[in-house]
Structure 1
Amino acid sequence: MKLGMIGLGRMGANMAQRLLRGGHHVVGLDPKPEARSALEQQGGESAESLQALVAKLPTPRLLWLMVPAGDVTDATLTNLLPLLGAGDTLIDGGNSNYHDTLRRAEMAAEQGIDYLDCGTSGGIWGLAEGYSLMIGGGEAAVERLRPVFETLAPGKERGWGRVGPAGAGHFCKMVHNGIEYGLMQAYAEGFSILRHKEAFDFDLVQVADIWREGSVVRSWLLDLCSDALQKNPQMIGIAPYVADSGEGRWTVAEAIELNVPAPVITLALLQRLRSRDAESYADRLLAALRNEFGGHAIKKE
């Protein structure tokens, strides 16, 4: 199957490479010449513009978007949709907000274009391990593209599936990422407790490796935790600043909207926000308040 890949960043490039290895023909578009050149070296084609990309694809066309969520995706679609026609298919594999996906799917449908939202998990390991694909959109379109999804997934019948209509794939991936926040926070806190129990002098790599086999807390995230601890057990040179892609925020907002309590995911998000406040005016005020009501000492800078 021949398809266009728009966006050859690290994840997009890895997905393109996995597709090429699976016997598909990929035509890639990226603003960086080196990204296009790398795809060509792996056996794919490249294009320097949306017009050139569309011209190289047989009808009905299949295009996979791996561009940043938000304005970049909108701008890409604004320029791309006029070049496409009825029967073509667009797949958004980025972390788009599902509200945006519903709007975009409606725009595409007006032109007879199938719009699939594919929540994609696997990160930099997806090339070797396969990607978890949570797909929203029409059943017929998903089934028609089964060979593509089977190639990208960990197995033909594993790690992928249509989870519902348009928007469902990105909603599912949003919740997936919210859960990820909570899991990572729990691992980080647990290993921090172990590290601070100096009397036992725990070998954190050893503990992680013990937990990886047979334990109820074993997981791929724990495997990655073990790798990180082996490389840098003291976390030297790493600032205690944790970014977020926005999906944790969306998950918490949906939980509130649906009256679903989600304290673990919410607190994990708040901890990430807390990590960025190096000055912490709130903590300064707390120290001042303790001094005001109890005369407690204030630690000076």
Structure 2
Amino acid sequence: MQLGLIGLGKMGGNMRARLREKGHEVVGVDHHPERSDVESTAEMVRTLATPRTVWLMIPAGEPTKSAVHELSGLLDPGDLVIEGGNSHYLDDRRQADELKSRGIHYIDAGVSGGVWGRENGYGIMVGGAAEDVARVQPIFDALTPDSGGGFVHAGDIGAGHFVKMVHNGIEYGMMQAFAEGYELMAASDVVDDVVGTFDSWREGTVVRSWLLDLLVRALEEDPELAGLRGYAQDSGEGRWTVQAAVDHAVPAPAITAALFARFSSRQEDSPAMKVIAALRNQFGGHAVTKAKGDTGE
């Protein structure tokens, strides 16, 4: 298939590469000209054959809203926009309505996999009409793992980003549990090999996971996490998950506590928060915040 792709950063750039490796044609544009295949969104649209499919991989909020508005004036009836960032699911509905008024279709796609997606494939969770999803299924198949898993059509417009939001809330809780376990073992006078303990859990245990693999990788690189400051940002989706739990009267104490723990990380240096920072750096390629007193030189 042929695809227009707006946003060629850590995720979008690797997605373009994986799609091309799978035989698809991608015309990409980014605010960094050196990454782009064309000079502008308008040129990208002119390059694509109709009916066009354009995938957005840019920050949620105003950048995405502005891009959708621009596309509404450039695309033709029957074209399709896939919002692959992390928009709030209510924003998806508003953006879909704006495009629908011009006959343009819309899919929201939650994408997970971080900087490892090009090699391992991405988890993709979509919302939209069944016929729109079927139309671009070859793109989703190329991006998801070769094993054939990692894809769900979760429901109508907004459902893809809603389940991605919940996914990220669960991720918060899992990361926090690993972090607290690390701090407890490191603080004890009982455990001599903390790194080896985590490594042993990667096989045969009920807590084995990709996050655990990444934690072991981080600890092997820096067993004391001395190069990190115990500070972790929150992406916004953790907040949305907690708010959705409030809106639907669903108790979510683990996810809520994990979100609040990230807030507390901004007040003092914490071994547990160093684990959170290390994990975020491992799977997302986030910039590492140096330990206090480290100039980075």
- TM-score w.r.t. length of structure 1: 0.87
Letter aligned with residue 64 of structure 1: W
Q: Deviations over 1:152-202 (max 9, x none)?
A: 00137411021100000000000000000000000000011111113432x
| Structural mapping, 1:7-46, within 5 Å | 7-36=7-36, 46=37
| Structural mapping, 1:134-153, within 5 Å | 134-153=125-144
| Structural mapping, 1:1-301, within 5 Å | 1-36=1-36, 46-155=37-146, 157-201=148-192, 203-278=193-268
SS of residue in 1 equivalent to 2:58: coil
> Could you tell me which residue of structure 1 aligns to residue 283 of structure 2?
none
**Cα distance, 1:204 vs. partner?**
2.0
Contact 1:150 1:156 (8 Å CA) reproduced: no
SS of residue in 2 equivalent to 1:13: helix
SS of residue in 1 equivalent to 2:28: strand
Contact 2:77 2:103 (8 Å CA) reproduced: yes
Letter aligned with residue 47 of structure 1: V
Q: Deviations over 1:250-278 (max 9, x none)?
A: 00000011110000000000000111124
Contact 2:230 2:268 (8 Å CA) reproduced: no
Q: Deviations over 1:222-274 (max 9, x none)?
A: 00000000001111121111101100000000001111000000000000011
Q: Deviations over 1:98-147 (max 9, x none)?
A: 11111001111111111000000000110011000000001001011111
Contact 2:4 2:28 (8 Å CA) reproduced: yes
Counterpart Cα distance in 2 of 1:84 and 1:198: 64
Q: Number of aligned residue pairs: give it.
A: 269
Contact 1:118 1:136 (8 Å CA) reproduced: yes
Flag the 1:212–1:79 CA change in 2: closer, same or farther, 3 A: same
Counterpart Cα distance in 2 of 1:125 and 1:15: 10
Counterpart Cα distance in 2 of 1:91 and 1:128: 22
Counterpart Cα distance in 2 of 1:107 and 1:123: 30
**Cα distance, 1:33 vs. partner?**
2.2
Contact 2:6 2:28 (8 Å CA) reproduced: yes
SS of residue in 2 equivalent to 1:166: coil
| Unmatched segments (≥5 aa) in structure 1 | 37-45, 280-301
Contact 1:132 1:160 (8 Å CA) reproduced: yes
**Bigger relative contact order, structure 1 or 2, given CA contacts below 8 A and separation 6+?**
2
Q: Deviations over 1:195-218 (max 9, x none)?
A: 1113432x2221111100000010
Counterpart Cα distance in 2 of 1:200 and 1:99: 47
- TM-score w.r.t. length of structure 2: 0.89
Counterpart Cα distance in 2 of 1:278 and 1:199: 26
Cα RMSD after superposing both structures: 1.2
Query: What fraction of aligned residue pairs are identical, expressed as a percent?
Result: 51
**Cα distance, 1:56 vs. partner?**
0.4
Letter aligned with residue 75 of structure 1: S
Counterpart Cα distance in 2 of 1:6 and 1:259: 37
